[in-house]
Amino acid sequence: SYELTQPLSVSVALGQTARITCGGNNIGSKNVHWYQQKPGQAPVLVIYRDSNRPSGIPERFSGSNSGNTATLTISRAQAGDEADYYCQVWDSSTHCVFGTGTKVTVL
């Protein structure tokens, strides 16, 4: 089965850049999607198909995907960006796979 690995936590200073990685075997050949989940709330799509932002998502959120690692980048981090972030791919055998999740803390 296909697995996605994320760091448990990432800390970023207010106004600086946070990078959250998502590792998977040849993930660069797949479409990667990212979700933000704040405490007590449902997840929200922030990046789809590697680097596309849904309407309403700030330009500060960007994504890239190559080789065995996909990355979600949060520029000029704000206190409101504190949340759990999950990557996700669709795999032909495992179907929908979520990453293990990363807790982002803004210091």
- Residues of the shown chain interacting with another protein in the complex, contacts defined by CB under 8 A: 1, 31, 33, 35, 37, 41-45, 48-49, 54, 84, 86, 88-90, 95-101
CB 33 to another protein: min, Å: 4
Cα separation, 67 vs 8, in Å, equals 21
Give the rounded distance of the alpha carbon of 72 from its chain centre: 5
Q: Distance between the two ends of the chain, CA-based, in angstroms?
A: 36
3 vs 16, beta carbon nearer another protein: 3
CA 17 to the chain's CA centroid: 14
- Of 17 and 94, which CB lies nearer to another protein in the complex structure? 94
Nearer to another protein, 16 or 99 (CB): 99
